[in-house]
């Protein structure tokens, strides 16, 4: 895999949708959730070497019924 800072993740949201986030954005989201006292992200898939690979995974998760389309 590439450098961790260049990795991408698919993250499930409470509303049922999924976001494609960079490693930096995922860390920032985790920090915000921790500071707000919120529960951490339930499901996360990755790391993926490219944003396109993460988007392809998100599409597969939508087709499998694990994510809602936005």
pLDDT reported for residue 59: 98
CA 25 from centre of chain: 9
Of 25, 24, 22, 20, give the one whose Cα is nearest residue 10: 20
Residue with tokens 């996360």: 44
Q: Is 42 part of a structural domain of the chain?
A: yes
Report yes or no: 58 and 67 within 8 Å, Cβ to Cβ: yes
**How many structural domains are present in the chain?**
1
Residues of the chain with pLDDT under 50: none
Q: Is 68 part of a structural domain of the chain?
A: no
pLDDT reported for residue 3: 58
Tell me: cis bond preceding 47? Omega within 30 of 0 counts.
yes
**Structural tokens at position 11:** 């993250």
pLDDT reported for residue 4: 58
Range of the domain at 17: 4-63
């Amino acid at each position: 895999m590439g450098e961790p800072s260049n990795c991408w993740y698919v993250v499930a949201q409470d509303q049922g949708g999924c976001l494609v986030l960079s490693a930096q954005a995922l860390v920032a989201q985790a920090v915000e959730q921790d500071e707000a006292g919120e529960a951490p992200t339930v499901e996360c898939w990755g790391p993926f070497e490219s944003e396109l690979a993460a988007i392809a995974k998100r599409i597969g998760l939508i087709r499998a019924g694990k994510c809602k389309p936005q």
